[in-house]
Structures are given as structure tokens and as C-alpha cells.
């Protein structure tokens, strides 16, 4: 068995304890000789503190070689040689276990290659979890006490700013926030109209984003503007106390706003979930201007159905140039296209054979496990207070994106169903129910791009792309003025309609 050794001392330990690098190295070599193990390398960090893993080149090189499979176990004199910080110790152990590398501690008689060693490792993990949960409880208790003292919890609300550690009124934005309350309490403005007004005067969130109707509503229900502090107020409980920061809105105006919000709440349950049936293209159709989904929207006349950009729906019609379009106009374009699809039998057999030969690559379970542990490591560091929230979010964002990609279920290829959808359901589009049309669109298309009242491009899912290519060759060969094919990432083919 190939193994590696790791030794470390800080200058203080070397002077006080007298168990330096040479003594640790001798112990490692003696143990390897006794076990008849091949010692391939000894990694050393001289004069480096164990309080953090940062700046320890020997440990860094050990982890890199462990990942490459250079050895199967790591031997060290004592657990605190690896790390004195529990969070770092657990993170290093997790990394080594991900690489299928065991750990051997000579002083504690731990060998994770044995059942007893794995038990001790589990106990260490349990203590780590206990410590994390205790810290979380302390954080919650600290936040509650901060609220009782009248201090703001979380980000500073729009209209305030922090000066020398104190929350004070921002003279530029506070009058505009107060005007939001006055306008809404008058009953002459809706949330969407207030969002449009905010856009015209340049009032934005503290992060610099445009205000939509939902963010305006959050402002209008925020008790911080009347000089109060609350925790979990929307969940029906929490701490409510007088704040140490000044109020922007008087209590009477705030009360009128709350009454107005309550009276304008919709009391009916729509027959269909918003944005779903009976809107076959909802969620698949994308706005060409900002690449967000188009959602179904009812007009005041309940018999009229429209498709609307979700950005405009949240922020008002001034937020996006894409106008509302009657749903039937876009649905008829899809119906006309698929109803005219041609899949000649003499070529269909070859396409079906090609489709059947396609297989999705198996998921890398080892990579999934490694990413999960990496995500957990950063979570531990954040909960333990070792890193700031900004760094935590920065580090975990790409990990979560990669996990989402790898966790996608494998697409099951059903050639008969694909042909049936395009040849039979497509020709019966106009006689199908909207629920059937939606099922067709969801199954066949990856996205449908809309600009104004016109569908400008459609992208079939990868499994259907060869069938669309066959239809294109049959109908539009040499007619690039009507349809032009362009390859896309992932094997899909986008049809650009002009």
C-alpha cells in the first residue's frame, strides 16, 4: 500500500513541546516499516499555525497529490497536526475521503480504513454538526436580541443609509419613499403604476435594481418606515419593538396603506393557474428583448387572452418594449408551422435509426459527491463564521449551477412518441384542446422566441432536432428567405423564421 506522511509545527510548539518535524517524521517512518507500507512522500509545513489551512503549501501539495491518486492513506502524528480548527479538520477529511484516501492518526489510534476508525471519524463529524447547530441557535438568539434593542436586521431599507455605524435618513431617497406611501394611500395608484412612477424619477432599490410592483409592495408593508423593528412578521410572529432609527412615514398614513392593500387583495381563485393552461406557449415562449419568459395574462374582458413579457408584468409596461400580444396570434403561428410539417416515410426510417443510436453519457456520480461535499464545506465555514456572506455566495454559486446541470434526469428517447407528436398531433393542432397543445409544446420545444406579434425563432429539443431537420430539407430546401438552420449548443437546432 502506498501512503504519505504529513508533519507540521509552529515555532512556539517546537520550542515548548519539543516534538518537532524530525520527531514526527521518525514516528511516521517507523509506523510505515511496521505495517510494511510504501512511504511515497512526506509533506511538511514548518512554522505554520494550525488555526487555518491558508498558507500551508505542504498541505496544499498533499491534497493535490491525493486527488491524482498518488497514495491511498495519509499518516500524521496527531489530529491537531492537520488542523486545530474543527471546520478545517472536517473539510480536509471530507476532501481526502472524496479522493478515496484514508487517514491514520498515530496518537489517537485512528485509521479510517478500519471500522473503528470510521466510527471515530463519524463521532468527530457529529461533534462538528452539534457545534454548527449550536452556533446557528446563538445567531438566531443574537438577531432576536438585536431586534428587541431596536436595531435593524438585515440590509438597510431604501430611504436610509448607515453613517458611523448609525442608521440615518437618506435625504435623497427618503422623500421619494414617503411619496410612495402618500400616493398609494390616496387610492388613485396601483402597485404597477407606482413602479412605473419610480422608474420615471429614477428611484431604484438599494442594490440599484428597478422597482417592480412586488418590491413596491414590500416597501409599503415594511414597518421600519414607521420606526419599528420586526422579525418574521409575515409568518405571523416575531419581535416587534421601537427602533432606534428615525421614521420616514407617519403611523396614520402607514395604516391607510395597509387597509388599502387588504381591500385590493383578490378574493377569488382563478380557474387556471396564472401563466399555465389555457396558455399553451407560456414559459416556453421568450421575449426577444430581455430573454425572459412570456406569461399568460387575462384582459379586463375575460374572453381575451394575451401573452406578456414577465419583466413588463413585474415592473410595468415601460420596463420592456415587447407589447402584449393576443395569445391566439402566436398559437396560430405555431399551429401553421407544425401542421405543415412533412416527414417522408422513405427518409424517416434512417432518421429513426439515428435517433435510436443516440445515448446520453452517464452521470459522473463521483463528481456529484465531490460537489456536494464541497458545497457542505463552504456552508460549514459560513455557519461557523469563518468566512463572510459575500464570499460564501460567490463560492457556492458555480457549485450549485454545476450540481443542477449534473442532476438533470436523463432524457428518455421514445422515437415512436416523437414521430407521433410531429406527424399526427401537429396536423391536429387546430382541433386539439389547449391542454393538449400545451403538452405538445412542452414536450417538443426548448424555446420559442417572440418579437412583437411575430415568432422569430423556434428551438426544438435535441431528441426532435433531426425530425425538424428532415422537415426543413423537405419543405424549405434552397429557400433561405423563409427558414435558415443554425447549429446550437447541446445538439439542438434553432430555426430562424423571417
**Lowest-confidence region among 57-71, 142-156, 308-322, 370-384:** 370-384
In 10 A of CB 108, how many CB atoms? 15
Q: Determine, yes or no, domain membership for 241.
A: yes
Same-domain pairing of 70 and 194: no
Which residues are known to be catalytic? Answer: 10
Same-domain pairing of 47 and 94: yes
For β-strands 305-309 and 294-298, DSSP reports them as antiparallel
Same-domain pairing of 356 and 371: no
Q: What is the pLDDT of residue 39?
A: 93
pLDDT at 279 over 50: yes
What confidence tens digit (pLDDT) does each residue in 43-57 have?
988 776 645 566 788
pLDDT tier at 256, thresholds 50, 70, 90: very high
Same-domain pairing of 383 and 241: no
Same-domain pairing of 89 and 41: yes
Final residue of a structural domain among 86, 111, 129: 129
The CA distance from 367 to 268, in Å, is: 48
Final residue of a structural domain among 263, 290, 306: 263
268 vs 113, which has greater pLDDT?
Answer: 113
CA dihedral sign, ordered 82, 83, 86, 87: negative
Eight-state DSSP code of residue 293: B
**Lowest-confidence region among 183-187, 307-311, 419-423:** 419-423
Same-domain pairing of 295 and 371: no
> Number of structural domains, the chain?
4
Largest Cα separation within the chain, whole Å, is 88
Same-domain pairing of 90 and 208: no
Same-domain pairing of 438 and 496: yes
Same-domain pairing of 421 and 379: no
**Cβ pair 460, 444 in contact under 8 A:** yes
Q: Of 421, 423, 452, 450, nearest to 438 (Cα)? A: 421
pTM: 0.46
What confidence tens digit (pLDDT) does each residue in 350-392 have?
666 655 555 444 445 677 778 887 887 777 666 555 667 677 7
Q: Of 306, 313, 278, nearest to 195 (Cα)? A: 313
Same-domain pairing of 305 and 439: yes
pLDDT at 179 over 90: yes
Domain that holds residue 241: 160-263
Same-domain pairing of 175 and 202: yes
Q: Determine, yes or no, domain membership for 69.
A: yes
404 vs 105, which has greater pLDDT?
Answer: 105
Which residue carries 427558414 as its cell?
A: 483
Q: Determine, yes or no, domain membership for 461.
A: yes
| Mean predicted confidence (pLDDT) in 324-331 | 91
Q: Determine, yes or no, domain membership for 349.
A: yes
Q: What is the pLDDT of residue 383?
A: 58
Amino acid at each position: 500500500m502506498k501512503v504519505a506522511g504529513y508533519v507540521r509545527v509552529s515555532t512556539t510548539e517546537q520550542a515548548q513541546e519539543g516534538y518537532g518535524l524530525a520527531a514526527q517524521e521518525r514516528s511516521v517512518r517507523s509506523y510505515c516499516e511496521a505495517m510494511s507500507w510504501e512511504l511515497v512522500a512526506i509533506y511538511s509545513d514548518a512554522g505554520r499555525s494550525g488555526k487555518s489551512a491558508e498558507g500551508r503549501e505542504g498541505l496544499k501539495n498533499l491534497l493535490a497529490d491525493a486527488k491524482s491518486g498518488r497514495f491511498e492513506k495519509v499518516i500524521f502524528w496527531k489530529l491537531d497536526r492537520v488542523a486545530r480548527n474543527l471546520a478545517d479538520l472536517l473539510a480536509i477529511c471530507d476532501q481526502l475521503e472524496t479522493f478515496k484516501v484514508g487517514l491514520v492518526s498515530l496518537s489517537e489510534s485512528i485509521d479510517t480504513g478500519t471500522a473503528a476508525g470510521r466510527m471515530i471519524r463519524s463521532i468527530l463529524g457529529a461533534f462538528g454538526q452539534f457545534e454548527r447547530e449550536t452556533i446557528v441557535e446563538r445567531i438566531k438568539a443574537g438577531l432576536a436580541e438585536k431586534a428587541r434593542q431596536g436595531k435593524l436586521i438585515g440590509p438597510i431599507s431604501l430611504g436610509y443609509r448607515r453613517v458611523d455605524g448609525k442608521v440615518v435618513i437618506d435625504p435623497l431617497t427618503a422623500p421619494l419613499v414617503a411619496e410612495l406611501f402618500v400616493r398609494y394611500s390616496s387610492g388613485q395608484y396601483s402597485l404597477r403604476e407606482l413602479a412605473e412612477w419610480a422608474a420615471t424619477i429614477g428611484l431604484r432599490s438599494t442594490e440599484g435594481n428597478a422597482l417592480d410592483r412586488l418590491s413596491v409592495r414590500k416597501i409599503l408593508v415594511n414597518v421600519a418606515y414607521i420606526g419599528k423593528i420586526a422579525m418574521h412578521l409575515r409568518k405571523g410572529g416575531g419581535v416587534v419593538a421601537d427602533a432606534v432609527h428615525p421614521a420616514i412615514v407617519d403611523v396614520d398614513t402607514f395604516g391607510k396603506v395597509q387597509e388599502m392593500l387588504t381591500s385590493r387583495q383578490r378574493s377569488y381563485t382563478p380557474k387556471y393557474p396564472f401563466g399555465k393552461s389555457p396558455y399553451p406557449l407560456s414559459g416556453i415562449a421568450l421575449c426577444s428583448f430581455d430573454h425572459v419568459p412570456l406569461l399568460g395574462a387575462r384582459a379586463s374582458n375575460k374572453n381575451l387572452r394575451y401573452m406578456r413579457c414577465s419583466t413588463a408584468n413585474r415592473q410595468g409596461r415601460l420596463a420592456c418594449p415587447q407589447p402584449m400580444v393576443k395569445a391566439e396570434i402566436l398559437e396560430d403561428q405555431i399551429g401553421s408551422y407544425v401542421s405543415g410539417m412533412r416527414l417522408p416515410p422513405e427518409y424517416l426510417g434512417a432518421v429513426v435509426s439515428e435517433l435510436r443510436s443516440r445515448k446520453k453519457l452517464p452521470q459522473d456520480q463521483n463528481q456529484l459527491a465531490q460537489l456536494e461535499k464541497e458545497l457542505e464545506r463552504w456552508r460549514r465555514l459560513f455557519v461557523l463564521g469563518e468566512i463572510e456572506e459575500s464570499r460564501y455566495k460567490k463560492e457556492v454559486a458555480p457549485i450549485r449551477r454545476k450540481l443542477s446541470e449534473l442532476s438533470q434526469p436523463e432524457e428518455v428517447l421514445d422515437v415512436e412518441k416523437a414521430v407521433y407528436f410531429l406527424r399526427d398531433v401537429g396536423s391536429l393542432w387546430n382541433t386539439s384542446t389547449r391542454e393538449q397543445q400545451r403538452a405538445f409544446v412542452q414536450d417538443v420545444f426548448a424555446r420559442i422566441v417572440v418579437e412583437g406579434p411575430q415568432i422569430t425563432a423556434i428551438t426544438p429539443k435535441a431528441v426532435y432536432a433531426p425530425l425538424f431537420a428532415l422537415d426543413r430539407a423537405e419543405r424549405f430546401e434552397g429557400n433561405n428567405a423563409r427558414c435558415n438552420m443554425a447549429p446550437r449548443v447541446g445538439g439542438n437546432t434553432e430555426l430562424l423564421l423571417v
